[in-house]
Structure 1
Amino acid sequence: MNRPRISIILPIRNAAATLPACLRSLARQTFSDYEVLAIDDGSSDESPAIVAAAAARDARIVLIEAGRIGLAAALNLGLELARAPLVARMDADDVMHPARLELQYHALQSQPELVLIASRVVAFPARVVKAGLREYLRWQNRIITPEQVNAEIYVEAPFTHPSVMFRRVPVQELGGYTTKPYPEDYELWLRMHEAGMRMQKLPQNLLAWREHPERATHRDPRYAREAFDELRADFLARDPRLHSGRPLVYWGAGRMTRQRVRRMIERGFAPFAWIDIDPAKIGQTIWGAPVHAPAWLNRQPRPFVLVYVTNHGARDLIDGWLQSMGYQPGCDYLGVG
């Protein structure tokens, strides 16, 4: 049997209500040389029956009844069973654009230096998409190039997981998905970034990402703020850009920000200075370092700045201020979510 060119890893758990639309979007792909590894993670609804019926009509679909093993283990099982050199992720509650596989396949074929290609996404149904998710996708969808990924990797996950396609072997050589209590996709993107792998995004919206209250990001403790903060700090502390000998400046001296910065200070990254726009904070000393107004950064040699302000509108303003003073994102400063 010839190997397919793409393996689609589709973990499933109690997705009977949305699975038919997902499977229809796979059947409508303009690129047809794929297999679907539908890994049932212990569903108690009709999901396995829906997949089995689809598999009876389409030999490219394989139902794998794994039992309740958890999402990360299901993804790693998919990597182990995948026969194709390229892996596309998909979730049972989302819908692919008909050209998604074709466009991503050709992007990876034409750029052998890329390990991962994602796409822009749109959230639906519009009536339940709240302002926070809209703002997150506005930020995420503007990250396209590998350089933008490198500059923004510590803000949030720069890719929506079911929008990605990647080369299977490099990801397996990194160890696949973590089973530790972290967001398994973001941890993998950080590990790939740390390994120097190039990741990019197509400018088209190729995935409709379904928003609903049962989505794992709303309910699973692996996606809690604490898990993200610990994960970011672990990888940020190893980033070569923080080991260049440049003085380290933290932008954001508020109480909540200081609690997040504490993780870096505990890892040995004491502040040379703080930056804030609050007149009540400017002139204070926090953890042995002075608080300055932003204009203080207009100096040579430039320090390295970690921007811990999380408000997206404020972060845009800070980007503008820093770049007006000659600071380059990813080279002279990094945003931290």
Structure 2
Amino acid sequence: MPWTPAVSFLIPARNRPEELKAALASCLAQSCDAWEAVVVDDHSDNADLLALVAAFDDSRLRYYRLPDGERGVSAARNQAVALARSPRLLTFDSDDLNHPHRAARCRELLDPDHPQLIYTRVRLFSATHPSGSPKQVLQPFTAALLEMINFITNPGTAFTVKAFEAAGDGFRPSLSLAEDYDLYLRMARAGVTIRAIDEEHVSYRKHPKATTNRRQAELHEAVMTVRRLNGVKPFPIEAIRSHSLPELARNLLDNPDQRALWQDDRWNDA
């Protein structure tokens, strides 16, 4: 009878072998042994990720390379979901680190028989600050607020296969940014139970100069695309105050970059 792991880590990967090696090591350090990690290689061009995965010599680590006709993080994540053998799916970027209890806690918190999603606090770390520090604000789930901004911490997200199926269509291959926001918005609208868990499950790697002006503009346009695809009604950015924690509203509205990212360009035309 085929073995069914308690959880499946979904790992889209492209290049960055040293970061992936550390990420996989954090899988092997789990307190619960009943996990698998599905690495989907999005056409790495300067790293042999197959050899890297094989060097661990652990059958729970599985490698797949996207075919030539498929590219992008959405395609990689969809393929990882298709290959996963567990009914509990844990998002995991190839440069982040799992905390040792993550698999065990997700097994306890997610009921495979129900469409559920959880998100947790994350710890932010970098090469110059390896011990990291926790992200301060964990916004409880509010459907009305999710229509405006994505407060779900994607690095610390886990969901059941039933939740993924409820959203329909998986991650949209047309989206290379904000694809997680699009999926979680569709999950919420489909009636998936979404909960914030006040625990740290993942350390999220911050890269120097990760957010350039160009990338900030691309992220904003991706958010606007998600809103249009999902028929989100135009809204004034100040409206988030009515639905969010005061700390979150201050962090977003008082930060020019965050405000520009989440403002709705259609509001002036509404």
Q: TM-score, normalised by structure 1?
A: 0.62
Q: Which amino acid aligns with 2:138?
A: R
Matches within 5 A, 1:63-78: 63-67=63-67, 69-78=71-80
Quote the Cα distance in structure 1 between the aligned partners of 2:41 and 2:170. Answer: 19
Quote the Cα distance in structure 2 between the aligned partners of 1:114 and 1:99. Answer: 22
DSSP 3-state at the match of 1:32: coil
Quote the Cα distance in structure 2 between the aligned partners of 1:102 and 1:66. Answer: 29
Quote the Cα distance in structure 2 between the aligned partners of 1:66 and 1:216. Answer: 27
Residue 156 of structure 1: aligned partner: 149
Quote the Cα distance in structure 1 between the aligned partners of 2:102 and 2:123. Answer: 13
CA contact (8 A) 1:9 1:37 kept: yes
Q: Does 1:166 align with 2:100?
A: no
Quote the Cα distance in structure 2 between the aligned partners of 1:194 and 1:26. Answer: 32
Structure 1: tracts of 5 or more residues without a match: 243-248, 253-304, 320-334
Higher relative contact order (CA 8 A, sep 6+): 2
Say if 1:84 and 1:315 are closer, same or farther in 2 by CA, change over 3 A: closer
Q: TM-score, normalised by structure 2?
A: 0.76
CA deviations on 1:12-68 (whole Å, 9 max, x unpaired) are 1002121121111100111111111111111121333211212xx211111112246
Matches within 5 A, 1:114-125: 115-125=116-126
Quote the Cα distance in structure 1 between the aligned partners of 2:23 and 2:237. Answer: 43
Cα offset, 1:149, TM superposition: 3.2
Task: From the CA coordinates, give the structure whose radius of gyration is larger.
Answer: 1
Quote the Cα distance in structure 2 between the aligned partners of 1:37 and 1:169. Answer: 19
Residue 35 of structure 1: aligned partner: 36
Say if 1:229 and 1:164 are closer, same or farther in 2 by CA, change over 3 A: same
Residue 257 of structure 2: aligned partner: none
CA contact (8 A) 2:117 2:163 kept: no
Cα offset, 1:161, TM superposition: 2.0
CA contact (8 A) 1:128 1:212 kept: no
Q: Does 1:105 align with 2:99?
A: no
Quote the Cα distance in structure 1 between the aligned partners of 2:121 and 2:232. Answer: 29
Quote the Cα distance in structure 2 between the aligned partners of 1:237 and 1:16. Answer: 39
DSSP 3-state at the match of 1:209: strand
CA contact (8 A) 1:5 1:34 kept: yes
Q: Does 1:142 align with 2:138?
A: yes
Quote the Cα distance in structure 1 between the aligned partners of 2:64 and 2:86. Answer: 17
Q: Does 1:180 align with 2:174?
A: yes
Residue 210 of structure 1: aligned partner: 205
CA contact (8 A) 2:43 2:66 kept: yes
Structure 2: tracts of 5 or more residues without a match: 254-261, 265-270
Say if 1:223 and 1:5 are closer, same or farther in 2 by CA, change over 3 A: farther
Say if 1:314 and 1:116 are closer, same or farther in 2 by CA, change over 3 A: closer
Aligned match of 2:84 in 82, 89, 94?
Answer: 82
